[in-house]
Amino acid sequence: MSFQGPDRRRRRGNAPGGPSRRDRQQDRDTGAYQNATAWPGATDYQDPAAHQDPGAYQDPGTYQGGTYQDPGTYQGGANQGGGAFGGTPPYPDGTDRRRTGYPDPAPFPGSGYREPFPGSGYPESGYQNAGYQGPRSRGSGYPEPVFPDAGAYQPAGYADYPDYADYPDPARYREPAIVQDQLPGRAAAYPPAGEHPSLPGVKLADLAAQDPTAYQGLEGYLNGGGAGPDGGMGAGVWRRRGRGFLAGIVTGLLSGAVAIGVAVLAAAFVRPQASPVIAIGDTVLARAPAGVKAFAIQSLGENYKLMLLAGIYVIIALLAIGIGLLARRRLAGGVIGMAALGAFGAFVALTRPESHATDVIPSLIGGVAGVAALVLLVRAGDPQVILVAAGQRDRSGYRRPGEPDVVGTNRRNFLLAGLTAAGAAAVAGIAGQVLSRQRFNASGSRSAVKLHPPLEKAPRLQPGAELTMPGLSPFYTPNASFYRVDTALVVPQLTIANWELRIHGMVDKPVTINFDDLMKRPQIQRDITIVCVSESVGGGYIGNARWQGARLADLLREAGVHPGATQIVMRDTQGMAIGVSTQAVLDGRDAMLAVAMNGVPLPPEHGFPVRVVVPGLYGYVSACKWVVDMELTTYAAYNAYWVKRGWSEQAAVKTESRIDTPKTGKALTAGPVVVAGVAWAQRKGIARVEVGVDGVWHQAALATQDTIDTWRQWYYRWDATPGAHKIQVRATDQTGYTQTEVVQGAEPNGATGYHTIPVSVA
């Protein structure tokens, strides 16, 4: 794509300061060459071929309003008629050219006139002998013609002077010395090393060697000299406002993608949690306010993690775009920015509570890869300067000077470099994911677990304990649909070979056991319903399963718990700390180190190889998955993860109930409608469930109670009538307590209120 310079614009219209349509017509009539000053500072940029015919040049005497009608009238100093001097010199062909704009050929070298104007570089003038005192003479009575830096025409070897009608203030250029003073920065525009400041690697000398005549007048233009007298724009300005912006965005995005992809690949050799995005996400989760986290869990469920990761990627992309735009202007600044991004990822990875010293490696390697990609893309997108041959012709057939084609981005090189970077990012990222799943995968270890018949099996379900009807939650929640709430952005992949549990703190004898030791201990099997504290009234963060494992109380007693130890701080493999009451574990309930769920080894998402299950307590104070450490301490000495965020130290599950069917807003048909759901009151048991229709309460039928630690199914057959209705449910436990209708949020120790749904009956 060629830069549409001032000369090219003049072909299409009247550029500011350019010739009018009438001027261009005069050019065609007279053969005069216009616009020698088309490029900013290009006073010597002309067509060498055009100088073969002196008549092709404007009469310099037309400068300053035409006062000098024809310098050729000074042939020998005689006033030979016409114009201000009363006559016109004869031309070799006898043509009177006063109106044509062609000068007398005599002023050119060899014509007998030595110096038409002082300082032009021509031999001493013969005008003075003819009585003409020259352009500097105040005695001539004529205005002094002004030419900017006449000496500049010597290297070009041109014998005439260009048309200076476009100069905005000719009076500024009366002396060559003044010209130099009034063009500050012209010399400073050239880099000391001879390299163009905005075109890295492009040497001015190399371009001048290619086409010295054409290049001499382009120096100011290529140096981004800004607007010329006719509104022209410097190359540097055009490049920054043109494709450089888009190229900067692409450069930043691809460099950031390479950095992340390579970091993911490197993390596959360290551990998935060492990936910079995961490390940043874990830090955000650890520092997020409890209210924000609870809202995200209730609103988005487990998808809140995907939203968090997406937000982190967006922020990284925006930072990378900024770095790319900076690098297009200052490569060193972009390199520093990309390196700082990698260093930040390493810092975050290293400062997490559960961090390993090797966690910094992926971020650092990714930062280096991002810097390399950034430099590659910036260099590949460096501008090209192409000097077009000077022999072009405009529509009227007249020769015009060559125009520079300044390309803001080397499209071909940039495209190849961009495809290379994108491919490298994709290959590294995909390879990292695949390799990470192969190296950190517990599925093989899980398959090797052999479950032994428990010492104490769970009692068989009594007849009527499990109801089956459309829309009603099954008694046992399938593993695949069991709710999951935790702070792990990457599911830990522990194996039975590398798992062990350490019990220490306020105990007589610290204990460390591995998986084989645990499996040799007597095991129990129990049906237990567990509930997340983030469960809103009528929500889905609750499930019932048959768990198998070793009693936790037996292991603690072997360690010898001190009487003053009120809290057990349980930590998972990522350092997540959950505090459970020591009394709740030792009071006789079936708290266990679970190894199986619904008859199979624990799924990795639910804590494989070992997790803690404590009946009657919300999960945030009991359900520690991937547990590897237990410290006996006091509540006064330590606040666990959720307690630090405003949740209660201890939280027993509240008596609650939920409507599973019909669903909110569902259109019903008049007649019998089954309203069904579940109710729970762990450690107490459900005694009664009531269904309210438009404020009138009705007794619901209950399934047989399994144990006091599981939920209980219920249903009510309602004879629905047409119209809009409001259905509610409430439960009463075995102690006689009926759940409150007061609506309370999940924080700080569980939600309350009646589950209410609107329905419409046709």
Q: How far apart are CA 11 and CA 395, in angstroms?
A: 8
Structural domain contains residue 528: yes
Compute CA distances 16 → 134, 577, 686, whole Å.
33, 73, 89
pLDDT at 384: 53
pLDDT for residue 405 is more than 70: no
Strand partners, 423: none
Structural domain contains residue 443: no
The pLDDT confidence band at residue 601, using thresholds 50, 70 and 90, is: very high
Average pLDDT of the residues in 79-89: 39
Same domain, 161 and 224: yes
Same domain, 312 and 182: no
Residue type, 724: A
Q: CA quadruple 557, 560, 566, 571: dihedral positive or negative?
A: negative
pLDDT at 122: 41
Same domain, 617 and 666: no
What phi and psi values does residue 691 have, to the nearest 5 degrees? -115, 130
Where is 678: in which H helix or E strand? strand 671-680
Cα torsion at 27, 29, 31, 34 (round to 10°)? -10
Residue type, 744: Q
Same domain, 306 and 404: yes
Q: How far apart are CA 207 and CA 660, in angstroms?
A: 80
From the list 364, 357, 367, the residue with the least C-alpha distance to 335 is 367
What phi and psi values does residue 180 have, to the nearest 5 degrees? -65, -40
Same domain, 634 and 572: yes
E strands present in 403-541: 404-407, 500-505, 511-514, 523-531
Q: How far apart are CA 133 and CA 129, in angstroms?
A: 9
The tens digit of pLDDT for each residue in 289-346 reads 777 877 787 778 778 888 999 999 999 999 999 999 999 889 999 999 999 999 999 9
Structural domain contains residue 448: no
Structural domain contains residue 466: no
Structural domain contains residue 453: no
Same domain, 585 and 708: no
pLDDT at 32: 36
CATH number at residue 548: 3.90.420.10
pLDDT for residue 733 is more than 80: yes
pLDDT for residue 266 is more than 80: yes
Domain endpoint, select from 203, 233, 263? 233
User: Among 170-179, 268-277, 314-323, which stretch is predicted with the lowest mean pLDDT?
Assistant: 170-179
Q: How far apart are CA 287 and CA 289, in angstroms?
A: 6
pLDDT at 194: 53
E strands present in 494-576: 500-505, 511-514, 523-531, 542-551, 567-572
Same domain, 623 and 599: yes
Q: How far apart are CA 589 and CA 279, in angstroms?
A: 37
Same domain, 399 and 306: yes
Structural domain contains residue 188: yes
Q: How far apart are CA 312 and CA 696, in angstroms?
A: 50
Structural domain contains residue 447: no
Contact, 703 vs 713, CB < 8 A?
Answer: yes
pLDDT for residue 458 is more than 80: yes
Q: Which domain holds residue 23?
A: 6-233
Higher-pLDDT residue of 322, 106: 322
From the list 698, 669, 302, 622, the residue with the least C-alpha distance to 489 is 302
CATH number at residue 734: 2.60.40.650
Cα torsion at 338, 312, 608, 584 (round to 10°)? 120
Higher-pLDDT residue of 472, 296: 472
Same domain, 640 and 710: no
One-character DSSP codes across 611-650: EEE-TTB-GGGT--SSEEEEEEE-TTT---TTGGGT--S-
Same domain, 229 and 259: no
User: Among 75-79, 663-667, 731-735, which stretch is predicted with the lowest mean pLDDT?
Assistant: 75-79
Residues recorded for the chain: 762
Same domain, 74 and 123: yes
pLDDT at 297: 76
HSE of 705, CA atoms in CB hemisphere, 13 A: 16
Burial of residue 257, with CB atoms counted within 10 A of its CB: 0-12 exposed, 13-18 middle, 19 or more buried: buried
pLDDT for residue 506 is more than 80: yes
pTM: 0.65
Report the mean per-residue pLDDT for the chain.
Answer: 75
pLDDT at 161: 42
Provide the edge-to-edge strand list for the sheet that holds 627-633: 511-514, 500-505, 627-633, 567-572, 577-581
pLDDT for residue 102 is more than 70: no
Average pLDDT of the residues in 97-124: 42
pLDDT for residue 50 is more than 50: no
Same domain, 499 and 614: yes
pLDDT at 296: 81
pLDDT at 300: 80
Average pLDDT of the residues in 448-453: 92
Compute CA distances 726 → 56, 247, 384, 716, 723, whole Å.
97, 59, 73, 15, 10
pLDDT for residue 45 is more than 70: no
For 154, other C-beta atoms within 10 Å of its C-beta total: 12
pLDDT at 250: 94
The tens digit of pLDDT for each residue in 681-692 reads 999 999 999 999
pLDDT for residue 695 is more than 50: yes
Domain count, the chain: 4
pLDDT for residue 130 is more than 50: no
Q: How far apart are CA 98 and CA 87, in angstroms?
A: 10
pLDDT for residue 71 is more than 80: no
The token duo for 698 is 């009705």
Show the DSSP H helices in 268-380 as ranges.
276-287, 290-300, 304-329, 331-351, 360-380
pLDDT for residue 707 is more than 80: yes
Structural domain contains residue 191: yes
